[in-house]
Amino acid sequence: MCLVNKVLFQKKLFFLFNKINKSEIFDITTYDSMISTLCNLNKIKLVKNFISDLFSYYKTFIDKDFEKNTDFKVNFKIVKILFLSLYIHNEDFDSIIFNNKTEYNNKLKNLSLSINKCIQSCFAIEERNSKFNLGLTRIVLNLYDFLSLYKKWERIDKRINTSNHLLNYYKIELKCMQLRYETTATGIIRMQYEREKSLLEQNVRYMNDATELKYFMDNKKNILMHDTIKDHLYWLKIKYEISCDDLYINTIVNLIEKTKNMFIDCVPNRLDIHTEIHDNLDLKIIEQTLVKDDDGSLDEMFLYNKIIYILDLLERFQAPEDDANFKLWKDGLMNQLQNQVYFKDFIPYFFENLYQRLLKILDVSHKVKQI
């Protein structure tokens, strides 16, 4: 009986797949046609039924514990997100969907491409055997990964938008502060500034996200948040560049260059230390050696040695009262490296923390000079 149900379920999946194929949902090539499809209730229902049955088949015949281990429920919101997984690998949608640069953009595009290939290859199998189950498993797990990744991307994407709106709000606030005298002309200008600020707030409300609205409202009058927000956006940009194969190496070199300059600024009159830093952090050598000649991948051991040198240098530069905290941080870093941490995740974390510590040293150095 179980085998009969399984065969019937497979037939239903193939029927739905063929129906989707005939409706040309897989053939969408323009953004307008994608939006049109998203607004077509019949097509969305068709995709919802297909995805629901995919997951039902998977948890019934392949992994009975799947639902227990996840909070996954197929609803129209989920379907619309997974619907995007069929298209966002298309370069024509890149600049429209990915307005902001995040570390998840390329991961989502790669998953989208993988999902499409899996669906086409899985439902091209005439004999519904173990290969079909294997293909369907890949589809379901990729869809689930896409959904999880999409939620992370969406959260960061919205925060970037909110942060940029706040930065623009601060610019207008500064302009308002410069209107020192109340005249008819300044009154008109002030009204225009108020309209611009109101529009920025309205744009945040359009996102329909209570968390982002609260973040905006809590910080719109706190202009001191400007540098913190700029810094946050800078590291999001670095994480994006690290995630791109064509920007990865160049970004690491730039981070090391900034590190090198910050160390030198800490001791502007110590030419002997400058020479030592130049010798150990020679940017030309780093750029040439950071990539392996045989396969073009990152030479992780070479980078590891540079990180060790930077840590030793930082320990020499910092105040004695920071030694205990530094040891805890360094032990954590070594633990990550020994456990073969993914370098693309490690690098932004390392340099962000490093810069905070160097800025503290520079702040002390500048105060000493003033005395």
The DSSP secondary structure of 148-179, one letter per residue, reads HHHHHHHHHHHHHHHHHHHHHHHHHHHHHHT-
14 in helix, strand or coil? helix
Query: Exposed (0-12), middle (13-18) or buried (19+): which is 281, by Cβ within 10 Å?
Result: buried
What residue type is 278 in one-letter code? H
What residue type is 24 in one-letter code? E
End-to-end C-alpha distance for the chain, whole angstroms: 87
Residue 371 has pLDDT above 60, yes or no: no
CA distances from 23 to 26, 34, 252, 337 (A): 8, 13, 47, 50
- What's the CA gap between 29 and 219, in Å, rounded? 41
pLDDT at 126: 59
Across 21-35, 270-284, 329-343, the highest mean pLDDT is recorded for: 270-284
- For residue 318, give every residue at least 6 positions away whose Cβ sits within 8 Å of its Cβ, in sequence order, or none: 326, 357, 360, 361
Task: Give 225-282 pLDDT, tens digit per residue.
Answer: 999 999 999 999 999 999 998 888 999 999 999 999 999 999 988 999 999 999 999 9
- Of 143-147, 161-165, 235-239, 294-298, minimum mean pLDDT range: 294-298
Which of 353, 332, 351 lies closest to 341 in space, CA to CA? 332
Pull the structure tokens for residue 136: 């369907």
Task: Give 107-140 pLDDT, tens digit per residue.
Answer: 999 999 999 888 888 887 655 566 778 888 888 8
- pLDDT: which is higher, 74 or 170: 170
Average pLDDT over residues 86-92: 82
